[in-house]
Every structure is written in C-alpha cells, then in structure tokens.
Amino acid sequence: MSVNQHGFSLVEVLIAMAIGSVLLLTTARFLPALQMAATRQTQRQVMEEEAWQRLLTVSRHIQRAGFCRGDCPGDGITLEHQCVLVRWDGNLNGVWEETPPANADSTGFRLSAGGLETLRGATTCAGKGWEKMTDPDFIIVDAFKVLRANRAGFAPEFELSLTVHLKSRPGVQVTTVYSVTGHNL
C-alpha cells in the first residue's frame, strides 16, 4: 500500500456520523406531524365528498319537483324543519301516485338522529321506514337545510346546505352549500 494515499481518520468518521445522526433525528421528529396532517386532509376530503354526493342527490329530486304530464293537484315540494318532500310524475301518467311506495312519485329527505334519511312514497316528515343515506358510525350530519327563494317572474331557487363531521373528530366540521332551480314549480 502506498504511503501517499489519504482517507478519513477515525475522529472524522465519528464526527460525520454524529452530525448525520442529529440531522436524521431532527427530520424524524417532523414525520409523525406530516403523516397526521396528511391523514386529516384525507379525512376532510372524504367528508366533503360525502356531503357533496348527498346534496347532489337531493338537488336532482328538487329539480324534478312539480313535474306532471297531466293535472296534478297540490304542491310539488314541501319544506319543513330539516326535511323536504318532493313530488313529480315519474311514470308520465299525469298523476302523482303515493302508493305503493315502490311506484310512488314522492320522495322525502330528512335529518334524523345525526343521519340524512330518505323515503320513497313519503307524505310526511314523521314516521318510520326511512333509510339512512349516511353512515352514522362514520359521518354525523349536524344540519340539513333547504331554503326557498321566490323572485317574481322567475322559477324558485333553492339553497341546500349540509354540515357534517366525522364521528371520530367532532371538532372538524364541513359545510357544503349548493343552489338549484325548481323549473317545474
């Protein structure tokens, strides 16, 4: 071996390893916080997606509300506290049928026990037989509102809002708002 070859001394290697260890431990402290932030962002996105899907479902029904191929008596939409009932002539026979529920031309949406529920054939916001649209073991619905705005010469507009939070994180709420026009009302 040549005497002219140079390398790192043992002290230099130990100092480099100490500096590297300090840098590695410093960056490792931030990893859990970064991972938690990514998890929270994903949970928030899931909540927003869930709320939007439910609002879009209700809005499609409101857009159809009031349609009748014949002469259907009554209102195509009924708004109550955290509940909306819509009717339209789905089979084009000129009548808003209420029975049997499988063929009914009315559908209801309501907030009950922290979940958004729906019922085909609903004639009132009370009663049993409503199906959950949201999973209360995952997402809790805090508020469901449908507000109607009438302007002379125009079809009524409806503003739908849904406020939700994860059951595991009640402190973080997401509110989605969507507007729709009731052209048949």
Q: What is the pLDDT of residue 56?
A: 95
Q: What is the pLDDT of residue 26?
A: 84
pTM: 0.78
Model confidence pLDDT, tens digit, residues 40-49: 888 889 899 9
Q: Which residue has the higher pLDDT, 95 or 126?
A: 126
Contacts 24+ apart (CB under 8 A), 149-156: 155/181, 155/182, 155/183, 155/184, 155/185, 156/181, 156/182, 156/185
**pLDDT higher than 80, residue 102:** no
**pLDDT higher than 70, residue 1:** no
Q: What is the pLDDT of residue 146?
A: 95
Contacts 24+ apart (CB under 8 A), 53-60: 54/116, 54/133, 54/134, 54/162, 55/160, 55/161, 55/162, 55/176, 55/178, 56/178, 57/133, 58/84, 58/109, 58/146, 58/160, 59/158, 59/160, 59/178, 59/180
Averaged over 2-6, what is the pLDDT? 66
Q: Which two tokens stand for residue 151?
A: 């302007």
**pLDDT higher than 90, residue 157:** yes
**pLDDT higher than 80, residue 103:** no
Model confidence pLDDT, tens digit, residues 61-98: 999 998 988 888 888 899 998 999 999 888 888 878 87
